[in-house]
A and B are shown apart, each in its own frame.
Chain A
């Protein structure tokens, strides 16, 4: 169907394109500053501050990082491992749970939804949470402590539940049941095939959570072989401030700190790949998901 553009469409387009372009620029400027900073000589950054275009172009920061690339490559490997495993298991558990609480014939669906939701408003705090993993389960230093805690989130479970309710009509599951299909069959044959967009969106949320996390490495890693990439970066960034705060301790004098441009280059190396990846996921939003209430 072809409809000619009215004046309102043109006005709207002008507004939309302008604001979008503006928004995109505002969002990208700091990133450009980081990128150009990573190619700028460290002394120049310190004396002249940041700029949009690199001055005194040098790749020395990247050379420093990749002089001993095994560390950063290992961190990459670990993050990919955590993201892959965590997103896969998380999606599986979220989808299963969402399926169960979407079943009308399941008497306790609302109670269970609420119990899941409740965890998002009420918690015991960091300390007992930490002790649970480190002392009670003895997982300190293990990779499990890094991927396990982020497998599920109440919001995502309920998002998925709403999506299942919306995309799998009751009539279909009812008729399948009459044909003698069990829950496993219904789940695998009827529900899973239509979940594409839901899986993509929720998978994106999960994966981003894993990719951007540094906190669990900070808490549970006992040596750098289990570090997440973001923590590798974050720790570099923090080191200089932390070391300065312990001003009186002479032992720190010998520590070699990363320069400003190395920090920025690290930031580029750590986030670049995700940004390259993101456009490929975008298209899955087309079919859409909606958020729904806790109750079903």
Chain B
């Protein structure tokens, strides 16, 4: 019954928002006001969407001391699978939490099966109190639709320590429509897109570093000629399901363009990073045709399988030497994983990494919404929930516990001071998948982190010359596509149907295929989608001064 009440209160909260907003309007007149004299503030539909913000300000608590007299049991929804020792670590955490905040936390895991669907169901049913949020889980749209509690006041009143740890700037990046809905982690990192490739083969055949399209081609071709049976790329469509690209190999083109986002803007638009508000057209440009001809050439060279569009190789292919490079979705962390994988394999393979930004000069750290924590609307004790987050992040002992488990049982610190998991540990590094609770101050470093920091340092230096310092412009943008949702879906389908084969070079005549794609995507309503997007994008750039 507890949950039944929760649902009820959720409903009540929703209806209260409506009724509260209605207060303060004129009650005296009892006839219909003439349409033209109706007061503007009561007739705009926009007002309805702002109500929750008003509601928040009305309660404005004065007391800064958190009342912990009543015990609170919180559910923390995180991604991935539970570690074997979930209960052990939870017990250890709760012991401390009860003592300090009279609260407990129960981690619940999405598992990786249907996680997108379950994630939104979890929010809909309001079962959780705290939840992991990220831009790849549509944080912006969810926050705009009111899935989370506004945190501005609570942060200032009850958890200033947390606010200071994360920093104003990062918090502001998490704000949607003027309110902060999430607390990011305190661990800046670079997730720049790039290519990882087999360095040993490059050296062996004396090939160039793939730092331009031409060199990439030379590199791939060189290996193909020397080792005819070696796969080059095991590209699929799996990492290209958005609105920018439709085939993984097309990520290579990122090395040419100093664009505002890795693969340009959605819907075949693009803008330079330095002038983000000047949107231009890519799909209908001559360059696009050139690029597609290039992809066709590569496909004909046999850089990827002819069945690539349906392939769904697992991430093992690079690790097992099935391909010599991966040009899609590669960031420093993934590169480092490959380095240690190769070490384990012991075949003498070497991995190298090149961020496209090193060539284009556009480098910025990950957006704050990459890993963050939010309080779910419907949580009865948002203050306490946030206090728990503060404790988990700001307390050294606690942070180590939640991220790495119990020292001695799950991990040890080796002689050089690095984290080392015990053999067959039942709680791995970041065993709760709480990437959102990272705090670099207390983070236990692993040996890999040394290499990672080297890369980060290198990227940071380049980043210093980037026009908008440390700003991931595109990830801060939240698109509202309600007005053109149908056309947007149609465009997505055309991309899967016509752009994917084009980018995979699986067409006979590139010019004809380009023409067909352009026809189809126009017919799908591209104009309307682009108009809607561009207007919002330009407004966003204006607002933040990205010019």
Would A and B touch once assembled, by the CB under 8 A criterion? yes
Binding site for B on A (CB under 8 A): 42-43, 46-47, 67-68, 71, 127, 130-131, 134-138, 140-141, 214, 218-219, 221-224, 231, 234-235, 238-251, 253-257, 259-260
Residues of A within 8 A of B315 (CB): 240, 243-244, 257
B445 at the interface (CB under 8 A from A): no
> Is A223 a contact of B82 with CB atoms below 8 Å?
yes
- Top 8 nearest A-B pairs by Cβ distance? A247-B329, A251-B435, A250-B333, A138-B3, A242-B112, A253-B333, A240-B314, A239-B112
> Is A134 a contact of B331 with CB atoms below 8 Å?
no
Q: Determine the distance from Cα of A253 to Cα of B193 in the docked complex, in whole angstroms.
A: 14
Contact of B136 among A68, A136, A137, A249 (CB under 8 A): A249
B430 at the interface (CB under 8 A from A): yes
> Is A250 a contact of B108 with CB atoms below 8 Å?
no
Known A218-B118, A244-B239, A251-B430; contact A135-B125, beta-carbon cutoff 8 A: yes
Contact of A238 among B7, B113, B189 (CB under 8 A): B113
Smallest CB–CB gap between A245 and chain B, Å?
6
11 contacts between A and B (CB under 8 A): A127-B121, A135-B7, A140-B127, A219-B121, A223-B86, A248-B136, A249-B370, A250-B333, A253-B333, A255-B80, A257-B314
Contact of B112 among A42, A47, A238 (CB under 8 A): A238
Contact of A67 among B7, B81, B115, B424 (CB under 8 A): B424
Q: Determine the distance from Cα of A254 to Cα of B124 in the docked complex, in whole angstroms.
A: 30
At the interface, is chain A mostly helix, strand, loop or mixed?
helix
B373 at the interface (CB under 8 A from A): no
Known A223-B108, A240-B315; contact A136-B3, beta-carbon cutoff 8 A: yes
Contact of B316 among A222, A245, A248, A260 (CB under 8 A): A260
**Smallest CB gap from B240: residue in A:** A247
Smallest CB–CB gap between B151 and chain A, Å?
22
> Is A134 a contact of B125 with CB atoms below 8 Å?
yes
Q: Determine the distance from Cα of A253 to Cα of B317 in the docked complex, in whole angstroms.
A: 15
Residues of A within 8 A of B125 (CB): 130-131, 134-135, 140
Tell which of A43, A67, A241, A254 has the most Cβ of chain B within 10 Å.
Answer: A254
Residues of A within 8 A of B312 (CB): 241
Interface flags for B227-244 (1: CB within 8 Å of A; 0: not) read 000000000001101000
Interface residues on B, range: 35 or more
Known A67-B424, A234-B113; contact A247-B322, beta-carbon cutoff 8 A: no
B429 at the interface (CB under 8 A from A): yes
Q: Determine the distance from Cα of A242 to Cα of B84 in the docked complex, in whole angstroms.
A: 20
B276 at the interface (CB under 8 A from A): no
Q: A134-B125, A136-B7, A234-B113 are in contact. List 13 more A-B contacts (CB 8 A).
A: A134-B3, A135-B6, A218-B118, A224-B86, A235-B81, A235-B113, A240-B315, A242-B112, A245-B241, A249-B191, A249-B435, A251-B371, A260-B314
Smallest CB–CB gap between B99 and chain A, Å?
24
Interface flags for B435-478 (1: CB within 8 Å of A; 0: not) read 10000000000000000000000000000000000000000000
> Is B239 a contact of A247 with CB atoms below 8 Å?
yes
> Is B334 a contact of A250 with CB atoms below 8 Å?
yes
B4 at the interface (CB under 8 A from A): yes
Known A135-B125, A136-B4, A239-B112; contact A257-B316, beta-carbon cutoff 8 A: yes
Smallest CB–CB gap between B403 and chain A, Å?
11
Smallest CB–CB gap between A49 and chain B, Å?
11
Q: Within residues 53 to 92 of chain B, which ones have a CB less than 8 A from any CB in chain A?
A: 80-82, 84, 86
> Is B136 a contact of A131 with CB atoms below 8 Å?
no
At the interface, is chain B mostly helix, strand, loop or mixed?
loop
Binding site for A on B (CB under 8 A): 1-4, 6-7, 80-82, 84, 86, 108-109, 111-115, 118, 121, 124-127, 134, 136, 189, 191, 193, 238-239, 241, 312, 314-317, 320-322, 328-329, 331-334, 336-337, 366, 370-371, 424, 428-430, 433, 435
> Is B4 a contact of A253 with CB atoms below 8 Å?
no
Contact of B124 among A131, A141, A241, A248 (CB under 8 A): A131
Q: Determine the distance from Cα of A141 to Cα of B430 in the docked complex, in whole angstroms.
A: 23
Residues of A within 8 A of B424 (CB): 67-68
Contact of A47 among B1, B191, B322, B433 (CB under 8 A): B322
Tell which of B4, B114, B314, B430 has the most Cβ of chain A within 10 Å.
Answer: B314
Q: Determine the distance from Cα of A135 to Cα of B1 in the docked complex, in whole angstroms.
A: 8
> Is A251 a contact of B433 with CB atoms below 8 Å?
yes
> Is B329 a contact of A224 with CB atoms below 8 Å?
no
Residues of B within 8 A of A218 (CB): 111, 113-114, 118
Residues of A within 8 A of B6 (CB): 135
Q: Determine the distance from Cα of A75 to Cα of B84 in the docked complex, in whole angstroms.
A: 13
Contact of A254 among B84, B320, B429 (CB under 8 A): B429
> Is B2 a contact of A250 with CB atoms below 8 Å?
no
> Is A250 a contact of B189 with CB atoms below 8 Å?
yes
Q: Determine the distance from Cα of A248 to Cα of B189 in the docked complex, in whole angstroms.
A: 12
Q: Determine the distance from Cα of A140 to Cα of B75 in the docked complex, in whole angstroms.
A: 12
Contact of A247 among B328, B332, B366 (CB under 8 A): B328
Residues of B within 8 A of A71 (CB): 84
Tell which of A68, A249, A254 has the most Cβ of chain B within 10 Å.
Answer: A249
Residues of A within 8 A of B134 (CB): 249
Residues of B within 8 A of A253 (CB): 333-334, 336-337
Q: Determine the distance from Cα of A243 to Cα of B314 in the docked complex, in whole angstroms.
A: 10
Q: Determine the distance from Cα of A138 to Cα of B86 in the docked complex, in whole angstroms.
A: 22
Smallest CB–CB gap between B267 and chain A, Å?
19
Residues of A within 8 A of B333 (CB): 250-251, 253
> Is B331 a contact of A250 with CB atoms below 8 Å?
yes
**Smallest CB gap from B185: residue in A:** A251
Residues of B within 8 A of A223 (CB): 82, 86, 108-109
Residues of B within 8 A of A260 (CB): 314, 316
Residues of A within 8 A of B4 (CB): 135-138
> Is B118 a contact of A243 with CB atoms below 8 Å?
no
> Is A241 a contact of B366 with CB atoms below 8 Å?
no
Smallest CB–CB gap between B427 and chain A, Å?
13
Q: Determine the distance from Cα of A250 to Cα of B136 in the docked complex, in whole angstroms.
A: 12
Known A135-B125, A238-B112, A254-B429; contact A246-B336, beta-carbon cutoff 8 A: no
Residues of B within 8 A of A243 (CB): 112, 315
> Is A254 a contact of B238 with CB atoms below 8 Å?
no
Smallest CB–CB gap between A37 and chain B, Å?
14
Residues of B within 8 A of A246 (CB): 136
Residues of A within 8 A of B81 (CB): 224, 235, 239
Known A244-B238, A251-B371; contact A135-B126, beta-carbon cutoff 8 A: yes
Q: Determine the distance from Cα of A244 to Cα of B337 in the docked complex, in whole angstroms.
A: 14
